[in-house]
Amino acid sequence: MAAWLSKWGPLAGVVSAVLIVVAFAASGTGTPGDNSTGPQVIRWYTANHGRATLGDLLVGLAMFFLVVFAAALVRHVRRGDRWIATGALGGAVIAALGLTCLIGFDLVLATDTKDLTSTSAQTLILLENDFFLPAVLGFALFGVLGGLAVVVGRILPVWMGWVLFVVGIAALVPPISWFAMLATALWVLIAGIWMVVQGPPAVARAEPVAAGERVLA
C-alpha cells in the first residue's frame, strides 16, 4: 500500500489543478465588489447561487488534494534536509485553510441568501473579497519552501524548483497574488505528472523488499 501511494500520490496535484480550473469556470465572473450595496449582493447570489455553491465546493476539494500532493512531495525527497519539504507541507495546509475560509464566506452568501440582511450581505462580501492574507501566506510558504525542497532534494529538475520559488515570492506581492496562486496550480499539475512518470524515489521502492527480508530473517 505504501509503495502504491508513493507512486500515485503525486496525481493528487493533477486533480487539484483540474478542480481549480473547473471551479473558476463554474463560478464565472462578475461577482460583487467591495463597493456593492447589500441589495446588490443579495440579488447577485439569488441569481447565481447554484454555480457559486458548485465553485466553492470544487475549490474545497482542490485544497484537499493540494495537501495530499504536498505530502507526496515530502515522500519524494531524495536527499538534503527533509524539514524544508515538511515546511512546504505546512504551507500547503495553511493555504488550504486560508482559501477554504475565504470561500466559506462565499458559500454562506450562496446558500443562505434568503436569510441575509443588507448589512450582513455587505459584511460577508467584504470578508470574501479581502480575507486573503492566510491563503497568500500559505501559498508563499509552499512556493518558497517547496521550491527549495525541489532544488535541494532532487525531486524534480532544478529549474522547476526555482520556478516554484519565484512563484512563492510573487504570492507575497498583493497586485499579483492571485495570479501566483493560479501559477502554483499550473506548477502542481506539471509536477504531479512528472513525478508519476519518474516513479517513486529509490528508497521508497526498496522498502517493501527490505520488509520482506526482515520477515525471512
Q: What is the pTM of this model?
A: 0.83
Q: How many CA atoms lie within 13 A of 213 on its CB side?
A: 5
**Of 58, 133, 144, 57, which Cα lies nearest the Cα of 95?**
133
pLDDT digits (tens, 9 = 90+) for 169-199: 999 998 899 899 999 999 999 999 998 888 7
Residue 35 is given by DSSP the state: T
Q: In what helix (H) or strand (E) does residue 41 lie, and over which residues does it extend?
A: helix 38-75
* Residues of the chain below pLDDT 70: 1-6, 28-29, 78-81, 201-217
Domain boundaries, the chain: 2-216
**Of 168, 164, 152, 165, which Cα lies nearest the Cα of 191?**
164
**Of 26, 6, 14, which Cα lies nearest the Cα of 190?**
14
pLDDT digits (tens, 9 = 90+) for 142-170: 999 999 989 888 788 999 999 999 999 99
**Of 150, 107, 143, 99, which Cα lies nearest the Cα of 125?**
107
Q: Can you give the pLDDT at residue 5?
A: 63
Distance between first and last Cα of the chain? 22
